Structure 1
């Protein structure tokens, strides 16, 4: 049952989307880059060295500090559109244009960052000898955050059936060199979610730092395998431009070659670092979304159908607006092609204690993460830890800790 089923105070004919214009806050992430530059110029003109250095780190500051604080202050949302409005909202192209507009902002910021990272002097910002190393690191982290949140935009577009939106998804992924996500997420993760076979579903007892290499390599190899199978059914070799892994990577190669040709080979290390930051932001969110959750096998040997209880949700409004309702993850897995503006909050789905932004910080510190989340996984399965998706290397230890038989 959704919250709109359990309580509807507003007459259907009078209902309106209170978040309609709040979705434009998603532009804050790439636009903040230019606000950051303005602030840095003012700080340098005033001789404020320390605030100037800090300002280059506005991406991490926004993601790790400001959004979690706003999430706490504003709290959860919980509102759903009435069923009678779903089709109307689905067809309203305004919501699509919000997504489309993120992409040029992302790439203007990206090219500007490439210039700043390689310029011998940036006098208009107060850097006659170019940026200091600490400032370049902060800038790279910030542009990586923009690319990482861009992957979420690509995620929303990549689920759609329209050819334009699927290509825009690949274009958005080019900055992070993670184009294979387009294949693996849609045809791999959504099929295998909450199973031991899914590289993007984290396991009980598995730290983020153990999950990261498993999911990065596993997602890449899975995407290649899926495309190889698809093309083989048509009698084609995987070494073709029709391979959606190769054509997505080709976009990244062209992009990287272009900016290196324009700004110099010294840019390459910064390109690699920002890409790693970007796709690591995606993977830490993946880590949150299905931690320890497991679909049971039916007598036929197949896994049960994915349901709301196989995804961790959070309905904190600030992160939801910035990430296009990504936190309403149960509804997304139930209806993958449903557009973000009509994703619903489910009362019965397992819930994280905070928004994604704050939970990301916990994930970086495994002892704190396990203290917060392991008991929630156990409670979700009513004390039967054998029903959870357990990290194989930790299985005996976890079963012994919670009093379960190692034969389970």
Structure 2
């Protein structure tokens, strides 16, 4: 961009704290629940109804920071603290929703309560994603804490050491294939990601001649954190909260997998002369420049730059003209992914257009 560095300002600076609205929504739902069971549906209605609408009205923001400004932006504690603050809000919302469940709710309120907690903890996986890629030890530890409520701590291992290596290949359980529905993708990625994480962590120990059955195993310690968390909440609030914790965890990691589904749908890294896939570049991830969802999701939608440069912090991720673009933001596309006929009608032609009409160049699986 032809903007002098000393004149450049992050126009979204006051907007980034809006990412904390999601874990605050359950408390607004609690206030509204006194007027009826539908109060607990506030969070899903805002996340998958209001946010997509506002996203559509406000549109895109394709601003990229000048590279000369990136080092200062990366060092700024302002952006880091916003991600840090998500965690106490996330856990406060979890305890509050568990308490509401333990106090007794009807089926309508109960379904809304499960979705509310699941959405907050599912979006927290995105916060864990941002933190887990960083070199700072405290951020990597916070990443695991954010993953504990969904029981998806193995994501920390599989995403960094598995998905980023195999992305946009048939071997990656988190890369959806052309023609594959979300409901077929879901069991493949849930089971495949857990298996991959265990294999990666086991290989790390076996290379050193050690058993993977140790508390130094990041997969085991992550799952143990979930067990301890669920046991503590059950001990404090009673056995009735255990099914709630399990249900909201399933909703939470399903939100993550729905995002995984749309991020690389049908995209393939072409094989080179050696038989290995080509280097990851901006063509291998679906992007969206919708301003609102980028603010709420720490610019996860600028996914191409994230895969090319995993250590870049969210505030300096860039958009590229060569990246394939989604027709809407993630919140809208996630809902679309749940309805296969609509998804395929919208996305399959875009995949084919990206490859000049040649489906043989797309990720079609085995």
Q: TM-score range by the shorter chain?
A: over 0.9
Q: Which range is displaced more, 304-313 or 382-391?
A: 382-391
Query: Which of 320, 336, 350 does residue 362 from structure 1 map onto?
Result: 336
The offset of 1:85, in angstroms, is 0.3
1:320 equivalent in structure 2: 294
Summarize deviations over 1:312-368 as a string: whole Å, max 9, x none: 000100100000000000000000111000000111110011111111111111111
The offset of 1:391, in angstroms, is 4.1
Structure number with bigger Rg? 1
The offset of 1:40, in angstroms, is 2.9
1:34 equivalent in structure 2: 27
Structure 1: unaligned runs, 5 residues or longer: 44-51, 120-129, 393-408
Summarize deviations over 1:125-178 as a string: whole Å, max 9, x none: xxxxx4222112211110110000000000000000111110100000000000
2-structure distance, mates of 1:12, 1:170: 36
1:342 equivalent in structure 2: 316
Query: Which of 19, 31, 40 does residue 56 from structure 1 map onto?
Result: 40
Is the counterpart of residue 23 in structure 1 residue 16 in structure 2?
Answer: yes
Q: Is the 8 A contact 2:31 2:39 kept in 1?
A: no
2-structure distance, mates of 1:249, 1:62: 31
Structure 2: unaligned runs, 5 residues or longer: none
Is the counterpart of residue 108 in structure 1 residue 105 in structure 2?
Answer: no
2-structure distance, mates of 1:351, 1:31: 30
The offset of 1:390, in angstroms, is 0.8
Q: TM-score, normalised by structure 1?
A: 0.88
Q: Is the 8 A contact 2:38 2:108 kept in 1?
A: no
Is the counterpart of residue 381 in structure 1 residue 349 in structure 2?
Answer: no
Is the counterpart of residue 303 in structure 1 residue 296 in structure 2?
Answer: no
Is the counterpart of residue 74 in structure 1 residue 58 in structure 2?
Answer: yes
Q: Is the 8 A contact 2:47 2:331 kept in 1?
A: yes
Pairs within 5 Å for 1:177-196: 177-196=151-170
1:172 equivalent in structure 2: 146
Is the counterpart of residue 248 in structure 1 residue 248 in structure 2?
Answer: no
2-structure distance, mates of 1:38, 1:273: 23
2-structure distance, mates of 1:303, 1:223: 21
1:400 equivalent in structure 2: none
The offset of 1:53, in angstroms, is 2.2
Q: Is the 8 A contact 2:29 2:43 kept in 1?
A: no
Is the counterpart of residue 118 in structure 1 residue 138 in structure 2?
Answer: no
CA RMSD between the two structures: 0.9
The offset of 1:279, in angstroms, is 0.2
The offset of 1:376, in angstroms, is 0.6
1:123 equivalent in structure 2: none
Summarize deviations over 1:115-134 as a string: whole Å, max 9, x none: 11012xxxxxxxxxx42221
Is the counterpart of residue 96 in structure 1 residue 80 in structure 2?
Answer: yes
- The SS at the match of 1:174 is helix
Summarize deviations over 1:265-297 as a string: whole Å, max 9, x none: 111111111000000000000000000000011
2-structure distance, mates of 1:201, 1:214: 10
Q: Which range is displaced more, 234-243 or 177-186?
A: 234-243
Q: Is the 8 A contact 1:206 1:391 kept in 2?
A: no
- The SS at the match of 2:29 is helix
Q: Is the 8 A contact 1:290 1:312 kept in 2?
A: yes
1-structure distance, mates of 2:43, 2:123: 10
2-structure distance, mates of 1:53, 1:37: 10
- The SS at the match of 2:150 is coil
Q: TM-score, normalised by structure 2?
A: 0.98
1:12 equivalent in structure 2: 5
